[in-house]
Each structure stands twice: as C-alpha cells, then as structure tokens.
Structure 1
Amino acid sequence: MYWEQKKECLPRPELEALQLERLQKTLQRVATTVPFYRNKFSEEKLDATRVNSLDDLRRFPFTMKQDLRENYPYGLFAIPLRDVVRVHSSSGTTGMATVVGYSKNDIVNWSNLVARILCGAGVTADDVIQIAFGYGLFTGGFGLHYGAERLGASVIPISAGNTKRQIQIMQDFKTTALVCTPSYALKMADVMMDMGINPNGLSLRFGLFGAEPWSEAMRQEINDRLGIRATDNYGLSEIMGPGVAGECQECDGLHVNEDHFFIEILDPETLEPVKPGEVGELVITTLTKEAFPVIRYRTRDLTRLLPEPCPCGRTFVRMHRMLGRSDDMLIIKGVNVFPTQIESILFDIEGTEPHYRLIVERENNEDKLTVMVEVVEGIFFDAMKKQRAFVDMIKKRMASELGIGVNVKLVEERTLERFNGKGDRVVDRREL
C-alpha cells in the first residue's frame, strides 16, 4: 500500500538524478541566504555552484547540534521570518535549545511524508489514530497529527501521560492505531493488566512507535501484549520531525524518503563512509526544506543500510532501526555496549520483565556495569539458591554476547521507573 506510489517506487537512476538536482539548488540557496553556510563554504574555498555529482557533497562541512545552538534562535533560517508559518524547538535540557522553522510548503511536504509512513505501515483513512506523543514545541505530536489528517484518518490528539485516561479513550473511541514511544506502549500494557482490561477486546490493530531506540524483541513483546502490529518510524526535529523514514508492512528496515533527504552512513571516528551494511553514524542533508535547510547534519544516531530490495516494491533505501547513539554509547572496559544489546538479551530470558536500568560506576579506576532487571514474582521469591543460579545464567549470557562481565541485580516487578516519553535507562556515575 502506497501513499505516493510513483514517487516511492522511482527507479534508482531517476531518484538519484532528482536528488542531485535538489542538492544543487539547496547548496546554492544556503550559500546565498544563510550566513553560517556562506562563511563555512568561503573558509573552505567551496563553490556551491560546482556540484556535479552526489559524491561532491562529501567535500562540504558537517553541521553539528552545537551550530544550531550557537545560531539560536533564527540564525540558520533561509527565508524571512514573515514567511515562516511554524516554529518548533528542542527542550534545551542539555544546553541552549535548537530552533527550527517551516514554510507553508514545508508543512505540506511534512504532512505528505508522514502520510507515506502511516500508509506504509498499513493505516488508512478508515482508521482512528490516538497520538500519545507530547504536543507543544516537540515535533512528534504535530508531525504525526498533520500526517494522519493528510491521510484522511480520524485523529485523537490526546498527547502524553494520564495512562488510565488514555486506555479509557482507547476503549470508548474505538482507537485502531496508537502513536507513542515503545516504552510508553509497554507502560500502557502494564496499566491495562492492572485495570483488568484484555487488549484483545480493543479495536487496536496498529502501533507506530519512535523517538527512542528499541529492539526486535521489544517489538514482539508489544505485539503480543497489545495484539497489534508495531512498526518503527524515525525523524528528528533538526531535520523535519517524524517522516524522515519508516517501516512498511514487511517490518524489515525503515524506508528513507530519499527524494527529500540525502543520507550518508559514516564512521563516527574517521568520518569516512563505512562499507555497505556496516554500522555507522547517520548524516542527513535536506533536499527540499525551504525555511530550515540543513547540510550534512550529524545525527549521532547509529544504524546500517539494508541494500537488498524490499518485497514491498519501494525503491527508497532501507536502514536498520537505530542501534543507539554514538554519543550515548557506553564504553565499558574498552568495549562498546549499547542498551539495546542488553535489552535483546533480557527479552530472550524467560522470567525477566521488559524493564531494566543500567548503572555504570568506576571503582579503583575500573568500570563496573550493573544491570538492574525486573523479574516475575515467582523468581523474585524463589529460594536464594535458585535466585543465584538465575543471576549466574544472566551474567553468562551477558559475558558471552557483550564480551564483558557485568553485575546483575534482580528487583521486583513495577519497582523501576516507568516513562511516558523516552526511556532513560542509563545512569552513568563515572567521574571521568
């Protein structure tokens, strides 16, 4: 099922020709209208009019989140403020907020691209979509909202939080598609169980989840507990918000909307392209954004491309779901560890719950990783000998698959914090 079949199934030569044409226009425009890029290009003696291939983009400098912060609020806008019809912003909790803008045409494109993602996941105009993302300056809520309306679906803009009310609305309004973070979907499943509600009695059929890394095992857990088909979608405020990429019904990689975004997968250390299929950092250049075009933005998100054609018929390249972030990656005793790796291991172990916390500390100049994991009541109240055997089994699995030893601490069900938004599962107490 396609929203814009002709565009989503373009032959690769035509798609790459379109990308080059749009890239040339974007580079020339930012060199003319955005002082930041004009100065950058001048410093490196780059002529934005001399781009003859997509490979030529590699000569141009990266854009970093810090660049956005340093040009707060409107320094990177490429059109006058009077032509900006929407402004969104990050929360700014880790520094100066990043501000992005949209022209009227940007909003139209955004709505269409999100409609593509929804349609690819199986959602139609007949569906009732409950959006449990936060609204306000966060792009997730409004992005999915406008895409759903563009699709013609009925939208319930309930926003995040108040889980019992979410479930009541889901029952009463016959919600068929849920939009939220995967963490929050599992929290909803927990609350449904507490309320004695059988998810099979709901009208829910689809779940469109994003905004945080999650594993294939977590997808299966959500599918089983809510009785839905969960798909992943990807976006980030600095580029557009949701709509950059999303899974089709094959649920095997996220199709990137390549007619609007040019992507590179680079080694985060050398900043050189990785080999096909290897994991690297996602770098994105916008091709059609008018108000806030961005050149070679380092997302810090880690993924890999899936080069094989997709059975769905779309020609847009697919990327693996996010494996973590290059700047959130844990380095324990010299070994790179991602929370999603640990999550996958725990999901495979019968008796563990889909909630965990990673505590990183440094003792005697040595890193120590403790995995706090919820377990079902029966295991927690087992004899001490059985508990120790269970812990030892988890430790062996971790050591075998991660390549390092970890400490494991069992905790009772419902004792670890639940999250309405992105799950913050890592506590790093090291003083480096």
Structure 2
Amino acid sequence: MKMWQMSDETMSVSEIKQLQLERLQSTLNRVYNNVEFYHNLFNKLNITPEKIKSLDDIKHLPFTTKQDLRDNYPYGMFAVPLKDIVRIHSSSGTTGKPTVVGYTKRDLELWKNLVARIMVAGGVTKDDIVHIAFTYGLFTGGFGLHYGAEHIGASVIPVSSGNTRRQIMIMQDYRSSVLICTPSYALHIAETLESMGLTKDDIHLKYGLFGSEPWGEKIRSEIENRLGIIATDNYGLSEIIGPGVAGECLYKNGLHINEDHFYVEVIDPETGEVLPEGEKGELVITTLSKEAMPLIRYRTRDITRIYRDNCKCGRTLIKMEKPSGRTDDMIIVNGVNVFPSQVEEALKEIEDTTPHFMIYVRKKGALDMMEIHLEVSENLFFDEMKRQKEVLDKITEKLFNYLGIKPKVKLVEPKSLERFEGKAKRVIDERQQ
C-alpha cells in the first residue's frame, strides 16, 4: 500500500520511542520558558523539564483541560509571539468561550503532511477529485483536509456544507471521487440522492473519509452500500492540530496514530491513572512538534483504547480503536452510565433498523425515564403489528443487555428524525427543562 512519508510511518518501536523522548524534552523546555500557564503550574508542582528523563516520567506531569484553554483565552497558551502566528482557528464555543488555536508557518507545513498521511492511507491519490463538504471557517476540518489534499496533488472542490441537492449535482458534473464530511452528512447525501431518483451509479465516488463524530460499523456499511465507496474514519481535534492526528488505512482495522508527533496515553477518566495498552479509557495527547501552541497531556474526553499490531498496510504506528463516545457525552440514568455509542452498538445486528435514533431523558416522578426513538425500514413500519412487536421486544432486550437498564423504545417511520450537516445530536435531556 502507498504511504506519504514511508520512513516516518514505518519506524521501529524503539526508533519511535527515542524520537518521542527527544521531542518531548524539547517541548517541555519550550512551554516552561514561553507559556506562563505551564511555567506557573510546573513551579507549583515542583516540576522542571530536566526531571522528565524517560517517557514513563510523563505520568508525573499535570493534565491540560479545555477549561485551561478557555481560562487563557484568547492567546495565553501560545508559546511564540503573535507576530509568528500565521493562522488562527477556534472551536465553535457553544458551551462557553471558544478555544483558540494558533499555527506558525512550520506548524502549517507539519499539518499538511500529517493530513496527507491519513488521506493516502484512506486511498486518496494525486489523480482524485476531493469533494469537501465540511464547513469552512474557524473550524479546522475544512481547511485541514483541503490543504492536505492539495499537498498530495489532488484536485479539491471546497463545497463546504449545506444545499445537498447542489452538492449532488456538483458530484455528478465535476466527477468527485472522494467525499469528505461527517458520517451523518454522508447518510443525508445518500438519502437525498435516492429522493432525487438517483443511485450510487449516477455519481463517481470511490472513497469517503469521515470524522468529527463517533460512528460505528452499521453506519459504515450503510454509507458504503448506498454511496458505493470505501469509507474510512479519521480523527483529530482542533486543540491538538485539527485533522491529521490519526486515520484508518484501507484495511479498516483501527486508526494509525501519527505518534512521531503526538504522544498518546489512555487513562481512567475518574482517577487519572494511566492504563496499560489495550484497556479502554480516555485518550490523552501530548504534542511533540507543535511550535505555536504545544499542549501537555491534553484530556480529549474521547473514549478509546490504544494497541499495536502487525497491520497488513506496513505502518508500524500505534493504533487507536474508533472512539466509542466521549466522557462528556455520557448521560446518567438512575445511576447508570449510558453512552449513545452503546445504543448504536446494540442496534447494529438487528435487521430492519437504521442508524438514525434519538435518546430522550425525562423525569417520571422522582425517577429518570429514557426513551429511544428509532427509525426503522419502511417494510417494518408498515408491517403487521405482531411483526413490529417481535422486533421491538428484541431491540428492548438487546438494549437492556448493553445498557443495564430497560429504555422505552418507540419505532418511528423512515426520515422522520432530524438530520444534521455537522455533528449529529443524539441526546435530548429534558430533566433540567
């Protein structure tokens, strides 16, 4: 299989570890000397960069959280003068002040190469026409993947999001071969395509690179079948760099992390204890080569596990499992922790269901009540009541096995739940309303 930077993507584990340690020590010196937040925090904890002599010593360093970034809004986390910042992005800031991210010229060169790596792993070549249906603007996804695709030499169509029928017309006329967007929007494109009386044979897509929200194998197979593509997952977050942190190769067996530039750990989200490779917990990332805004042990809130295997693609980089949700997506129902991804996992083996569902949490007296609205196929929705009840009972039992509680399930007709161009919203918590 092709690679963008073969020597970097196929290093031995010992070579990677040595490089990580050198880059970590350089990064620690940079933040200690140039970022007041880290300088004060390290002093308070009696930590100096010289005390970190091995990768294992990283566990002695403090975590960085999104709140720390908000507290230092807008430029307090920058490690270089503002005159050296050539690009500024930020998160949407829907739950408070946005988190602001800066890039030096060298950071942008690094970003292009890291995104190029994951795009090549997902099948993209210089001969492709890449249709980017992510929102452009302060969000890192659109620009990150745009410049990565151009760096490979592919042709880029910066369509942005919205106006789905126009998007499909452009796909047909411009012969787009790669689709980049959220998995939710890819499904919406498939539905719109069918509502226009068209099929996957009327467009020219070969590959799809999707991210920005958790999605499972049921959604993957539906996207692949309805759009006629190979769909791969990629992972990134604005605070770290944007897209380019990790991505699946065409074997679709975990996401290769660009660990020569990011040191990753998985921790117990409750205790902060570092977990062994292979155990599931919260992903924590330390940047190793960012100039403008290096971050130390950033808590992503994403739930996953990391592991090494002998991938057939030849990459030796450590892998992460597709994130199964976020610690801050977790809802507590009568004392039981529930993640929307568990619902998706429970439903994936049941015929006549679709990947579209919405979770409602309400109060019924003193107790919490969870109700799931689930779109089913037209065949089932218009089938006889006895058949519907059989499927409903099967779904309820499956959910009980996965969640540990028995939610109320309501089967709803196809296309009746809201569709999202950006990240899909899965939970409506009405307990505080």
With normalisation by structure 1, the TM-score equals: 0.98
Q: Report the secondary structure of 2:252's partner residue.
A: coil
C-alpha separation in 2, matches of 1:385 and 1:55: 59
Contact 2:329 2:340 in 1 (8 A): no
| Residue 401 of structure 2: aligned partner | 400
Q: Distance in 2 between matches of 1:301 and 1:377?
A: 35
> What secondary structure sits across from 2:49 in the alignment?
coil
Query: What residue is the counterpart of 1:169 in the other structure?
Result: 170
1:75 is matched with 76
Give the partner amino acid of 1:189. A
SS at match of 1:49: helix
Q: Aligned residue for 1:248?
A: 249
**SS of aligned partner of 1:78:** coil
Q: How does 1:304-323 map to 2 (within 5 A)?
A: 304-323=305-324
Separation in 2 of the partners of 1:405 and 1:274? 31
The aligned residue for residue 233 of structure 1 is: 234
The whole-number CA distance in structure 2 between the counterparts of 1:189 and 1:292 is 39
**Counterpart residue identity of residue 230, structure 1:** A
**Larger displacement relative to structure 2 (189-198 or 349-358):** 349-358
Instruction: Work out whether 1:196 is the aligned partner of 2:197.
Output: yes
Per-residue deviation, 1:98: 0.7
8 Å Cα contact 2:373-2:412 kept in structure 1: yes
Q: What is the Cα deviation at residue 431 of structure 1?
A: 3.5
Cα offset, 1:400, TM superposition? 2.3
How far 1:381 moved relative to its partner?
2.8
**Residues 52-131 of structure 1: matches in 2 within 5 Å?**
52-131=53-132
Task: Structure 1: give runs of 5+ residues left out of the alignment.
Answer: none
1:234-383 to structure 2, matched below 5 A, reads 234-383=235-384
Q: Supply the distance in 1 between the matched residues of 2:379 and 2:146 (Cα, whole angstroms).
A: 42
Pairs within 5 Å for 1:137-152: 137-152=138-153
3-state secondary structure, aligned to 1:112: helix
Task: Give the partner amino acid of 1:225.
Answer: R
Q: SS state of the match for residue 427, structure 1?
A: strand
Q: How far 1:48 sits from its partner (Å)? A: 1.1
Determine the structure 2 residue equivalent to 1:50.
Answer: 51
Q: Work out the number of aligned pairs and report it.
A: 432
Question: Residue by residue, what CA displacement relative to the aligned partner does 1:140-193 show, whole Å, maximum 9, x if unpaired?
Answer: 000000000001100000001111011110000111100000000000000000
- 1:107-139 CA deviation, whole Å, 9 max, x = no partner? 000000000000011110000000000010000
Amino acid at match of 2:218: A
Is the Cα–Cα contact under 8 Å of residues 362 and 431 in structure 1 kept in the other structure? no
Deviation at 1:42, TM superposition (A): 0.5
TM-fit CA distance, 1:86: 0.1
Q: Structure 1 residue 271: deviation in Å?
A: 0.6
Is the Cα–Cα contact under 8 Å of residues 217 and 348 in structure 2 kept in the other structure? no
Indicate the SS of the match to 1:246: strand
**Partner SS for 2:414:** coil
Aligned position for 1:214? 215
Q: 1:171·1:203 contact (CA, 8 Å) conserved in 2? A: yes
**Which secondary structure does the structure 2 equivalent of 1:101 belong to?**
strand
Match of 2:431 in 1: 430
Once the 2 structures are TM-superposed, how far is the Cα of residue 378 of structure 1 from its aligned partner? 3.1
Q: Can you list the C-alpha shifts for 1:58-90, whole angstroms capped at 9, x where unaligned?
A: 111111101101111101101011110000011
1:310-362 CA distances to partner (integer Å, 9 max, x unpaired)? Answer: 12111110000111001111233333322122113323222222211011123
Quick one: which amino acid aligns to residue 414 of structure 1?
K
- 1:187 equivalent in alignment to 2:184: no
The one-letter code sitting in structure 1 at the alignment partner of 2:26 is: K
Q: Which runs of 5+ in 2 are unaligned?
A: none
1:357-404 deviation line (CA, Å, top 9, x unaligned): 011123233222111011223322334343333322211121123222
State yes or no: 1:14 paired with 2:48.
Answer: no
One-letter amino acid of the structure 1 residue matched with residue 268 of structure 2: D
d(CA) in 1 for partners of 2:220, 2:198: 21
AA partner of residue 409 (structure 1): K
Residue 116 of structure 2 aligns to which amino acid in structure 1? Answer: A
> Which SS does the other structure have where 2:144 is aligned?
helix
Distance, in Å, in 2 between the alignment partners of 1:275 and 1:363 is 41
Amino acid of the residue matched to residue 191 of structure 1?
A: T
Cα separation, 1, equivalents of 2:229 and 2:329: 30
Q: What letter matches 2:241 in structure 1?
A: M
Give me the whole-angstrom Cα distance separating, in 2, the residues matched to 1:382 and 1:252: 37
1:346 partner letter: L
CA distance in 2, matches of 1:115, 1:383: 51
The one-letter amino acid of 1:61's match is P
Structure-2 separation of matches of 1:231 and 1:106: 25
| SS of alignment partner, residue 393 of structure 2 | helix
Letter in 2 for 1:165: R
Aligned partners of 1:225 and 1:380: how far apart in 2? 20
Q: Distance in 1 between matches of 2:277 and 2:35?
A: 34
Q: 2:418 aligned with 1:417, yes or no?
A: yes
Secondary structure of the residue aligned to 1:74 is coil
CA distance in 1 between counterparts of 2:355 and 2:342 reads 13
1:420 alignment partner, SS class? coil
**Greater CA deviation, 83-92 or 391-400?**
391-400
CA drift at 1:262: 0.4
- Distance in structure 1 (CA, Å) of the matches to 2:284 and 2:19: 19
Greater alpha carbon shift after TM alignment, 389-398 vs 187-196: 389-398
**TM-score when scaled to structure 2?**
0.97
CA distance, structure 1, for counterparts of residue 158 and residue 133 of structure 2:
7
Structure 1 letter corresponding to 2:15: E
Q: Is the 8 A contact 1:218 1:344 kept in 2?
A: no
**SS of 1:88 mapped into structure 2:** strand
Aligned mates of 2:167, 2:304 — CA distance in 1: 32
3-state SS in 2 of match to 1:52:
coil
